[in-house]
Structure 1
Amino acid sequence: MTQIRIKAASQLLGVSDDTVRRWVSAGRLEMGEDDSGCSVVPGEQLARLAQELANGSIEELDPGLGRRSARNHLTGIVTAVKSDPVMSQVELQCGRFRVVSLISTEAVEELGLQVGAIGTAVIKATNVTIEAGEA
């Protein structure tokens, strides 16, 4: 079973170390120690909590949630829009992650995408690479 250190867990969830420790105190996560005596949480529990947090926090921001075939969607805030007459580059900050999309300027205008607007990147890909990380 994968064990993840408290600091790494907090970074993965986008919260402080103290928040993770409060969740442990509240019984939301179990805490143990690794071979070097550092505090760790089970990776399986952290994954479940990450899904709970993600589902709960974006439902009000993403009205299409659960009604689209693409399962990869990231809701965030528009941080930049660079447009020419035909195409636009739109940047979203989705938590810790920056997502950049090239879409038509017409779509940008129709959707009202501007800096500060809420947007959801919907990703439908036939080839996605995942790299294993170290906890």
Structure 2
Amino acid sequence: MRTYRIADAARLLGVSDDTVRRWIEAGLLATTGASPAEIPGDALAQRAVERAQQGSDAADVLSSARNRFVGLVTRVQVDGVMAQVDIQSGPHRVVSLMSAEAVRDLDLQVGSLAAAVIKATTVIVEAPKD
């Protein structure tokens, strides 16, 4: 079975190396017992599924979409009636084109918390309720 170093596991799970080390110490992530620590692929996959099931919603909403990327807005470019919004969610950069009105209504700014909800070829951006 394939094993992963802590740095690789952290990158794949979208967390820091220190977080992976804490999970190992807390018994939340198994290792092979080798030194330096190696994480079995099946244990890493199980942790990834657990994290996905825990969810990290930016808003208190129910949705039929299953592809949801919570992250920080890194760019907002408004040009007339349309806008481009970039969201960095872990290692993933998600770009959405939307109306400038939607950007204003959601109060999207660089540094805002937002979720990109992807259903087929459409990206829906949500912002948390006040």
Instruction: Give, as a single letter, the amino acid of the residue that structure 1 aligns with 2:44.
Output: L
Between Structure 1 and Structure 2, how many residues are aligned?
Answer: 121
Residue 41 of structure 1 corresponds to 39
Deviation at 1:28, TM superposition (A): 1.5
- CA separation of 1:88 and 1:4: change in aligned 2, threshold 3 A: same
Cα distance in 2, alignment partners of residues 95 and 47 from structure 1 = 17
Q: Which amino acid aligns with 2:21?
A: R
Letter of the structure 2 residue corresponding to residue 84 of structure 1: D
Question: Counterpart of 2:30?
Answer: 30
Distance of 1:120 and 1:12 partners within structure 2 = 19
Unaligned runs of 5+ in 2: 122-130
Q: Is the 8 A contact 2:15 2:90 kept in 1?
A: no
Unmatched 5+ residue regions in structure 1? 127-135
Using the size of structure 2 for normalisation, the TM-score is 0.75
In the alignment, structure 1 residue 7 sits paired with structure 2 residue 25: no
State whether residues 62 and 75 of structure 1, in contact with CA within 8 Å, keep that contact through their aligned partners in structure 2. Answer: no
Describe the shift of the 1:68–1:51 C-alpha distance in structure 2 as closer, same or farther (beyond 3 A). Answer: same
CA contact (8 A) 1:88 1:103 kept: yes
Looking at structure 1, the residues matched to 98 and 111 of structure 2 have their Cα atoms a distance apart, in angstroms, of 18
Structure 1 CA distance, aligned partners of 2:29 and 2:44? 7
